[in-house]
Structure 1
Amino acid sequence: MSAPKDIHAYLAEFEDIPGTRVYTAKRARQGYHLNQFCMSLMKAENRERWKADERAYLADWSLTDEQKEAVLARDYNRLLDLGGNIYFLAKVFSTDGLSFLQAVGTMTGMSPEDYQAMMVAGGRSPEGVRSLKEGR
């Protein structure tokens, strides 16, 4: 019987996947308030307050300064790094009038049409860099 794998080493492996952020318990803890803010936008009255003064609305939430700036910049990739969950972040881009396809397209640097075509064709190619630390 082999020795159990160190949990920290196992979780660190998730950070080695190029272009992917695995939503771990650590990210969930980090992004709790960010994701709660996003969920607040499900209510029409909150969306109206948000649209009227984004900075003032964010002041009511216990987000880090970095999270607040990433929200204001609509830097969705950074928000994922800071604990955002894409399904919660969808409340922000929906409030902005963007579809999921449009928002995710901006995250990949692709047009919505090119992103949609890639996904219809089966998604990202498995060829290319598969490990950040090994560069392969």
Structure 2
Amino acid sequence: MTDIHEYLEELEDIPGTRVFTAARARKGYWLNQFCMSLMKEENREAFRKDEAAYLDNYPMTAEQKQAVLDRDYNRALDLGGNIYFLAKLFSSDGKSFVQAVSTMTGVSVEDYQAMMLAGGRSPEGLRSKKGGY
């Protein structure tokens, strides 16, 4: 049987993917709580009025707050954000899921949609960060 820590470390080797593990959930708890607060219109209004001040209501790390302010969704994921919670943030900005995720992949919305309609990323190519294959 594989050690659980070895198994979880293997999940970090998948290029372009961040598996939402229990460790990531603990790390991003307050980031995700902030995102969930955006389900209420009055909270969205308060956030739009002064983003930095609103973020100060949550004991997030400075890095997490900066990722939100920069709308750096990939960094937010690295810092424990959950894509489904982050959806509240980009929805608050008037972006669709497709628009936001296309920025995370570095391609246009049209190219991202075409890729997904064609079945997603190709199984060919980089499959391991550390293995280079």
TM-score (norm 1): 0.97
Residue 52 of structure 1 corresponds to which residue in structure 2? Answer: 49
Residue 127 of structure 1 corresponds to which residue in structure 2? Answer: 124
1:5 Cα deviation after fit: 1.1
The equivalences for 1:103-118 within 5 A come to: 103-118=100-115
| 2:99 is the counterpart of 1:102 | yes
| 2:33 is the counterpart of 1:36 | yes
Q: Distance in 2 between matches of 1:86 and 1:5?
A: 28
The equivalences for 1:17-32 within 5 A come to: 17-32=14-29
Which structure has the greater CA radius of gyration? Answer: 1
RMSD: 0.5
Unaligned runs of 5+ in 2: none
Q: Distance in 1 between matches of 2:120 and 2:52?
A: 36
The percent identity for this pair of structures is 73
Q: Distance in 1 between matches of 2:109 and 2:49?
A: 28
TM-score (norm 2): 0.99
Moved over 4 A (4+): none
Unaligned runs of 5+ in 1: none
Aligned length in residues: 133
